[in-house]
Amino acid sequence: MTKRIIVGVTGASGSVLALETVRQLVRGGAETHLVTSKGARMTIAHELGPDGLAQLVSLANHTHSHQDLAAPIASGSFRTDGMIVVPCSMRTLAAMAHGLGDNLVTRAADVVLKE
Binding residues for ligand FMN (CB under 6 A): 10-13, 37-40, 42-43, 46, 89-92
Q: Which is nearer to ligand FMN, 40 or 71 (CB)?
A: 40
Rounded to the nearest whole angstrom, what is the least distance from the CB of residue 85 to ligand FMN in the complex?
9
Q: Are 20 and 40 in contact (CB under 8 A)?
A: no
What residues contact 40, with CB distance under 8 A and at least 6 apart?
A: 9, 10, 11, 15, 18
Q: Which is nearer to ligand FMN, 39 or 52 (CB)?
A: 39
Rounded to the nearest whole angstrom, what is the least distance from the CB of residue 113 to ligand FMN in the complex?
17
Q: Which is nearer to ligand FMN, 3 or 46 (CB)?
A: 46
- C-alpha 40/C-alpha 111 separation (Å) is 21
- State phi, psi for 8 to the nearest 5 degrees: -100, 130
